[in-house]
Amino acid sequence: MDRRARTSRRPHSPAKTLFAGFVAAVLGIWGAALEPVRAQTTSATPSTSSVPSSSLVSSSVPDSSVPTLGSTTCIDERTVASWPLIKQAGQVLMFGMPITRAKFGRDLIRRYDLAGVLVRGNPRATDATAIQSLRDAKIGAPTIVAVDEEGGRVQHLRSAVGTLPSARLQAKLDPIKLRALISKHARGMRQLGFTMNFGPVVDLTPGTPINNGIGDRSYGSDPTRVSIAAGAFVDGMLDGGIYPVLKHFPGHGNASGDTHNVGAKTPPWSTLQVADALPFRMLTAGRPGRVGIMTAHLHVPGLDDRPISLSKPAITGVLRDQWRFDGLTVTDSLSMWSVSTKFSAPDAAVEALKAGNDLLLYDNDPDLGAIISRLANAAATDKDVAARLIQADLRVLRAAGANVCAGSLLGPVPTSSTPTSTTTSTTAP
């Protein structure tokens, strides 16, 4: 998550209908309206096979768009459970670093069996060898090499791949043309050695200006229009072999501040779930396991007293149980003010994992040894944490391109689809 600036756009009013009815109506109307666009997109971007989907902006890209190891033996729960806990713990960790420290990053990946790295700074085309060395750091398992590449103010690869317009300007393009633009950009990213993008931003533009860092990183104030434009971005990334991650769940656009350096509060969950949260649900509905979600350090009244990135009612309750989301969940950096002032780095890792996150992101040279030891000890003494760690490993491996055995990683459908609001902590910033 990068520093952001403020802007203003036309206000949106929250829907007054029930959430389920709202979503069903929007999906039905939008699906019919976009059928011609789907047909044009399929003919404009042929693929070896199509993936039928109920999503309004679903992709016709085959699952093979995300590269795999090519192994004939898939990885399952028993495989991961057989690994030492230290190895299992390393597989859920990622840290941010400039490409100038590639050797340092490669050594840490190998030493701790890390999931991967988030490349900061502004690498150039001449850094391709260093980036690829990070991707190939481990033997027998893929490494995630991620970047924040949104367009506009937040694009670290302008010197290496070229520039993209901001999300605000992307929204003005025809979705088919936008997808083609992003597809070309993604292929350049993949050629450099990147495998994951922390983008697009699908936060809504607030009704009145708020200095919360989102600004023109948002596609707009209407959830449907945001989902159409961001959907073209997502599918373009998948076309080029890049795993996209939507951010910042459950919606940072109407938050009161920037979680880099202050606590941030959103409107109540009853409002967010029929407005700000809709693009996340729409964009993941038809792309099972192929799109990730970044969880934000936001306080959402009516959902949990903890930051959402550490909230089990939000991540397990809403994303997993209610929405049946089976993709990767990534925390925003746990080194940020909203978490680091309340939790030590090892404690934040355990709490984030227990909440339902799969990939735990840090910056600023965290003590990875201490974090891994804390995770491993928690898994050794708590069977629920142990099960969560295995599940997180499988999702991280799948997002990285490993051959994970077919079948949902979700548990059984809960008896109630409505998450219970809890007050599990009073430490929210």
Q: How far apart are the first and last CA of the chain?
A: 18
Q: Which two tokens stand for residue 189?
A: 């990213």
Q: Which two tokens stand for residue 380?
A: 């050794």
- Using CA atoms, how far residue 226 sits from 183, 280, 302, in Å, is 18, 10, 25
Among 376, 383, 340, 380, smallest CA distance to 361 is for 340
* Contact of 375 with 351, CB cutoff 8 Å: no
Q: CA-CA distance, 121 to 100, in Å (whole number)?
A: 9
Question: Hey, how many other C-beta atoms are within 10 angstroms of the C-beta on 21?
Answer: 11
Looking at the DSSP bridge assignments, the partners of residue 245 are 292
Q: Which two tokens stand for residue 331?
A: 């925390």
Which is catalytic among the residues 260, 304, 321, 326?
260
- Is residue 332 annotated as part of the catalytic site, yes or no? yes
Q: Which two tokens stand for residue 122?
A: 């502004």
Which is catalytic among the residues 127, 239, 276, 332?
332
Residue for token pair 């948002």:
218
Q: CA-CA distance, 112 to 89, in Å (whole number)?
A: 9
**DSSP helix/strand/coil, 79:** helix
| CA 185 to chain CA centroid, nearest Å | 19
Question: Hey, how many other C-beta atoms are within 10 angstroms of the C-beta on 46?
Answer: 8
Q: Which residues contact 78 (CB under 8 A, 6 or more apart)?
A: none
Peptide bond into 248 cis (omega under 30): yes
Question: Hey, how many other C-beta atoms are within 10 angstroms of the C-beta on 340?
Answer: 19
Sheet arrangement for strand 243-249? 329-331, 292-295, 243-249, 196-197, 144-147, 116-120, 93-98, 360-362
Q: CA-CA distance, 362 to 125, in Å (whole number)?
A: 26
Q: CA-CA distance, 294 to 277, in Å (whole number)?
A: 12
- Is residue 393 annotated as part of the catalytic site, yes or no? no
Where are the strands (E) in 337-407, listed by range?
360-362
CA angle at 89 for the pair 337 and 367, rounded to the nearest 5°: 45
* Contact of 185 with 164, CB cutoff 8 Å: yes
Helix (H) or strand (E) holding 42: helix 19-44
Which residues have a catalytic role annotated? 260, 332
